[in-house]
């Protein structure tokens, strides 16, 4: 049964405490939560689709960098050994034949013994490094979910899976652009450097004020829109490819791991 309690009013600093808050009913976006710890996107697909999902991720490593893959039916991961992937995210999405059928706060009743879960790197992981480098995070300042957009760039297909790349956008002042690129590029396992800076039309995005996922974020007058590949991309593939069943995280509401973000820094 889905939970109905309210989210804690302030971000929690410890990932175990954050997961407990979500298990108890918190539904907040996770940007700014447990700084210094890696966050992950979730997609679980039936075992007979798992190879194609793995191949899709291997062929599209920028939006789909894999941090862990579970055994069929398992809801645990060494990224947080005490966690339950069925209950410890703020909100989930349940898909049937590419259609969104539910957005519960746990998926215990939806879980199946043949589901293989993929935990995919999330750009929230490098936000601590951006903040330490002085890069403002407008969505965190404004208490909003990050803006996410479906682009006109197709991913490389894998078997039955295909779909467009999804990106997240953060407005960055020009004086901080070099730092934003440098710091994120040092963490390729959580999407790495931007895929585009500047005019959103270059990605086929028509209106920054109308994100496909997340919230619109207000930019300062001189801010440059900077776009990173996003782990919501597998959800776009689910919508395009229509597998019979899938479970994902709700965009912006991630799995908080016990892994330190510095583990994914290459230098």
- How far does CA 197 lie from the centroid of its chain? 20
**pLDDT tens digits, 239-251:** 999 999 999 999 9
**pLDDT tens digits, 66-85:** 999 999 999 999 999 999 99
The per-residue pLDDT for 216 is 97
Angle at 45 between CA 48 and CA 61, to 5 degrees: 100
What are the beta bridge partners of residue 256?
39
Share of the chain above pLDDT 70, in %: 97
Residue position matching structure tokens 């039936």: 46
Share of the chain above pLDDT 90, in %: 94
The per-residue pLDDT for 10 is 74
Indicate if the alpha-carbon torsion angle 55, 59, 60, 64 is positive or negative. positive
Q: Say how many C-beta atoms besides its own lie within 10 A of residue 101's C-beta.
A: 11
Q: Say how many C-beta atoms besides its own lie within 10 A of residue 240's C-beta.
A: 16
The per-residue pLDDT for 5 is 39
**pLDDT tens digits, 172-200:** 999 999 999 999 999 999 999 999 999 99
Domains in the chain, CATH or no CATH each? 15-122+240-264 (3.40.1640.10), 124-229 (3.30.2040.10)
The per-residue pLDDT for 84 is 98
Residue position matching structure tokens 């803006």: 147
Distance CA 25, CA 2 (A): 8
**First-residue to last-residue Cα distance in the chain:** 44
Residue position matching structure tokens 């539910």: 102
């Amino acid at each position: 049964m889905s939970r109905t309690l309210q989210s804690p009013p302030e971000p929690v600093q410890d990932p175990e405490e954050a997961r407990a808050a979500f298990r108890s009913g918190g539904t907040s976006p996770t940007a700014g939560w447990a700084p210094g710890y890696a966050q992950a996107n979730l997609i679980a697909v039936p075992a007979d689709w798992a190879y194609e999902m793995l191949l899709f991720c291997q062929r599209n490593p920028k939006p789909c960098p894999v941090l862990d893959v579970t055994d069929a039916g398992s809801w645990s991961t060494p990224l947080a050994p005490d966690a339950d992937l069925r209950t410890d995210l703020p909100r989930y999405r349940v898909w049937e034949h590419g259609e969104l059928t539910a957005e519960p706060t746990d998926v215990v009743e939806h879980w199946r013994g043949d589901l293989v879960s993929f935990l995919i790197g999330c750009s929230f992981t490098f936000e601590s490094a951006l903040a330490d480098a002085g890069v403002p995070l407008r969505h965190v300042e404004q208490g909003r979910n990050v803006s996410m957009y479906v682009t006109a760039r197709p991913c490389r297909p894998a078997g039955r899976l295909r779909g467009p790349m999804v990106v997240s956008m953060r407005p960055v002042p020009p004086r901080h652009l070099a730092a934003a690129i440098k710091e994120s590029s040092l963490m390729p396992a959580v999407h790495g450097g931007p895929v585009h800076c500047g005019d959103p039309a270059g990605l086929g995005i028509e209106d920054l004020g109308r994100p496909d996922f997340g919230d619109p974020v207000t930019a300062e007058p001189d801010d440059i829109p900077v776009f990173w590949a996003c782990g919501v991309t597998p959800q776009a593939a689910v919508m395009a490819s229509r597998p019979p069943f899938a479970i994902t995280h709700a965009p912006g509401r991630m799995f908080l791991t016990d892994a330190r973000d510095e583990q994914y820094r290459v230098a």
